[in-house]
C-alpha cells in the first residue's frame, strides 16, 4: 500500500479527489503509517505551521479577491440563486504590501477539514504560509499581461493550487484561481457566507465540466473588460489574446468543454483529470496532459487515449513516476511538512516538477519562449516520461 498522509488522504478519500480523477483505492482512511522518523502529530487542538514552497521569478506577488455574480444565470446546483464565483487574482507586483495573504479563511478551513470526517483541526489550513501579499501595487505594462486560469479539483477549494499560482505570478503572469461555487468544500464570500459542496451530494461530472466551461468564459469576460463591471481591479491588465487554462482533476478535464465553447482559451493543461466530454470535435490548440504513472497509452484510463486523438494541434502526454492523484496540488508538499508523505517521491519534488512543466508550457504558448523541456526526456527530471501513442 502506498504511503499516505494524515492531511492529504483526508482530502483524497473524503473529497473525492482520488475517485473522480483517478482510480479509487481500497484502503483505510489513513493508509498505513509512514516510516519517517520525524513525524508531526496532528491533534484537534493544535495544528502545525505549514508553508508553500518558495516560488521562482523576479517579481513580488500580489493577490486580491474578486466576487463575480453572473446575473440572470441560475446556479446549476442551487437554481434559486444566481451563479456566483469567488476569484483569487495573483499578479506580479512592484513591491509587497504590509499584509500577508492568507491561504484559506477560517470558515473555509473548517468546512474543508470537516468534510473529511477525520477530526482534523478546523484551523489546519489557516496555518499555511504564502508568499503573496494582499492588494500589492501591480506592475504596469504597455499591453496587458498573459492570463492563466486555474480550475481546482472537484470538492477542493481554489487555494489548493496557490503554490502554482504564486510561481506563475512571480514570473509575470496574471493568474485567476476560480472558486466554482457549490463545487468546493468551503468558499467564503465577502458578506461572510461560506458555501459547501452541494454538487458533491449527487455528482454529475459531465455537468461539472459544462458548468466550469461557462464559468471560465465569465471570468475571461470580467478580466478583459467585456462585462459591465470594471475588469481591472487594482490596475491589473490582461491581454485577451494570451490566455491559458490549467486545471487539476475536474478542473483539468474541463478544458475540453471550455476550449470548445470559447476560442479565447489559447492553450490548456490537464493535471491528472479523467476526461468526461468525449466526442470527435477536433481541438486544434496546444494541450499538455500531465498525469500519474497509470495514465499512459493503453493504461488505466482509456479516456486519455480517446482525447489524445481529438487533439489536432501541438500536444504532449507526460506521466510522472512516484506520484498520486493529489501530487499536482499544494497538498503534496504540505503533507511532507506534516511528516506523513502522500506519495513515493518527495512532495517538494513533485511540486517542482509540476511548476517546471506548466511554466515551460505557458511560456512557450503565451510568450513564444520555446525552451527545450517539453522536447523530450530531461536528465533534470528523470521521473517524467514522454508518451507518443
DSSP 165-185: HHHHHHTT-EEEEEEETTSBS
Q: Can you give the pTM of this predicted structure?
A: 0.88
* Mean pLDDT of all residues in 284-310: 97
pLDDT digits (tens, 9 = 90+) for 321-359: 999 999 999 999 999 998 889 899 999 999 999 999 999
Is the pLDDT reported for residue 52 higher than 70?
yes
Is the pLDDT reported for residue 148 higher than 90?
yes
- What are the boundaries of each domain within the chain? 49-102+129-387
Is the pLDDT reported for residue 117 higher than 80?
no
Closest CA to 261 of 210, 312, 227: 210
Mean pLDDT (the chain, rounded): 87
pLDDT at 227: 53
What CATH number was assigned to the domain covering residues 49-102+129-387? Answer: 3.40.50.1820
Which of 15-29, 161-175, 193-207 is predicted least confidently?
A: 15-29
pLDDT at 48: 53
pLDDT at 120: 74
DSSP annotation string for 44-94: SS----EEPPPP-SSS-EEEEEEEEEEEEEE-SSSTTSEEEEEEEEEEEBS
Buried b (16+ CB within 10 A) or exposed e, 198-237: ebbeebebeebbbbbbbbbbbbbbbbbeebeeebebeebb
Q: Which three cell numbers stand for residue 252?
A: 483539468
For residue 141, name the pLDDT band (cuts at 50, 70, 90): confident
For residue 143, name the pLDDT band (cuts at 50, 70, 90): confident
Residues paired with residue 282 on neighbouring β-strands, in sequence order = none
pLDDT at 118: 64
Q: Is 333 in a helix, a strand, or coil?
A: helix
Amino acid at each position: 500500500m502506498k504511503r499516505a498522509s494524515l492531511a492529504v488522504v483526508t482530502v483524497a478519500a473524503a473529497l473525492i479527489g482520488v475517485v473522480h480523477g483517478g482510480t479509487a483505492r481500497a484502503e483505510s482512511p489513513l493508509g498505513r503509517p509512514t516510516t519517517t522518523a520525524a513525524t508531526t502529530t496532528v491533534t484537534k487542538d493544535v495544528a502545525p505551521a505549514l508553508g508553500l514552497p518558495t516560488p521562482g521569478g523576479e517579481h513580488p506577488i500580489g493577490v486580491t479577491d474578486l466576487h463575480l455574480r453572473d446575473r440572470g444565470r441560475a446556479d446549476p446546483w442551487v437554481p434559486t440563486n444566481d451563479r456566483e464565483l469567488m476569484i483569487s487574482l495573483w499578479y506580479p507586483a512592484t513591491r509587497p504590501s504590509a499584509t500577508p495573504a492568507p491561504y484559506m479563511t477560517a470558515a473555509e478551513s473548517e468546512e474543508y477539514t470537516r468534510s473529511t470526517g477525520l477530526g482534523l483541526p478546523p484551523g489546519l489550513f489557516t496555518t499555511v504560509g504564502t508568499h503573496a501579499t494582499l492588494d500589492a501595487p501591480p506592475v504596469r505594462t504597455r499591453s496587458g499581461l498573459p492570463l492563466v486560469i486555474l480550475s481546482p479539483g472537484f470538492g477542493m477549494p481554489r487555494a489548493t493550487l496557490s503554490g502554482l499560482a504564486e510561481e506563475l505570478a512571480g514570473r509575470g503572469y496574471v493568474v485567476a484561481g476560480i472558486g466554482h461555487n457549490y463545487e468546493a468544500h468551503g468558499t467564503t464570500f465577502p458578506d461572510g457566507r461560506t458555501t459547501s459542496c452541494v454538487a458533491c451530494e449527487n455528482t454529475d461530472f459531465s455537468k461539472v465540466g459544462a458548468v466550469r466551461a461557462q464559468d471560465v468564459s465569465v471570468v475571461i469576460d470580467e478580466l478583459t473588460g467585456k462585462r459591465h463591471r470594471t475588469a481591472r481591479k487594482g490596475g491589473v491588465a490582461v491581454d485577451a489574446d494570451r490566455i491559458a487554462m490549467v486545471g487539476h482533476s475536474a478542473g483539468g478535464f474541463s478544458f475540453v468543454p471550455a476550449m470548445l465553447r470559447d476560442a479565447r482559451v489559447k492553450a490548456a493543461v490537464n493535471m491528472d483529470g479523467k476526461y468526461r466530454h468525449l466526442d470527435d470535435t477536433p481541438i486544434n490548440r496546444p494541450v499538455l496532459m500531465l498525469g500519474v504513472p497509470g495514465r499512459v497509452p493503453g493504461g488505466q484510463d482509456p479516456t486519455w487515449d480517446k482525447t489524445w486523438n481529438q487533439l489536432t494541434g501541438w500536444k504532449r502526454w507526460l506521466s510522472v513516476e512516484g506520484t498520486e492523484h493529489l501530487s499536482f496540488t499544494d497538498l503534496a508538499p504540505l503533507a511532507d511538512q506534516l511528516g506523513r508523505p502522500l506519495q513515493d517521491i518527495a512532495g517538494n519534488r513533485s511540486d517542482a516538477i509540476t511548476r517546471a512543466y506548466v511554466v515551460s508550457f505557458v511560456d512557450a504558448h503565451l510568450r513564444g519562449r520555446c525552451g527545450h523541456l517539453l522536447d523530450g526526456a530531461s536528465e533534470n527530471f528523470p521521473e517524467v516520461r514522454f508518451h507518443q501513442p
